[in-house]
Amino acid sequence: MILMLMMAVSMIAASTAVKAQSSTTMSLAAGDTIVNTGTSAKIIQVTGSPSGIAITAVLAKLSGTNGGTVGIYGSPDGTNYDLIGSTYSITTATAQSKTFYITAPLPSYIKILGTGTGTMSTVLTVKYRTTYYQPK
């Protein structure tokens, strides 16, 4: 009886696997610097059917006094976005990062939006990794 139970548990454990995924760093472009009360945004188009995504916003202060927020927004059409979860408050630190975790079902588009306050110049770099669970 115990042997059959152990076999059943091992068969269930062997029935799913995680497909290894590598992290992607989105390339920097014009507009990736949050200046004063301005914004900087990066958009990820989600393809396939990932079971989750981890998104890290890396903020590097160039000058001034950092302030504001970074938020993750989802959209089904790439036009109309809603906040997913809570925003992160940008501190006065020279370098900082925040990782956001989102589980399925994922929206078709994910926007990472940094909004500044005061007098500042801060670069927003975005890194992300999707995870896919697949049966063996």
Other residues' Cβ atoms within 10 Å of the Cβ of residue 131: 16
Residue 10 φ/ψ, nearest 5 degrees = -70, -35
Distance (Å) of CA 73 to CA 2, 26, 50, 78: 49, 17, 17, 10
| Contact status, residue 130 vs residue 46, Cβ threshold 8 Å | yes
pLDDT at 2: 52
pLDDT in tens, the chain (136 residues): 554 444 444 444 444 444 556 789 999 888 899 999 999 999 999 998 899 999 999 999 999 999 999 999 999 999 999 999 999 999 999 999 999 999 999 999 999 999 999 899 999 999 999 998 766 5
**Which two tokens mark 29?**
């472009």
pLDDT at 6: 43
| Contact status, residue 44 vs residue 135, Cβ threshold 8 Å | no
- Of the chain, the end-to-end C-alpha distance in Å amounts to 26
Q: Where are the beta strands (DSSP E) in 10-119?
A: 16-19, 24-25, 33-35, 39-45, 52-64, 68-75, 82-83, 88-89, 95-103, 109-116
Domains along the chain with CATH numbers:
17-135 (2.60.120.680)
Place of tokens 């890194």: 127
pLDDT at 57: 97
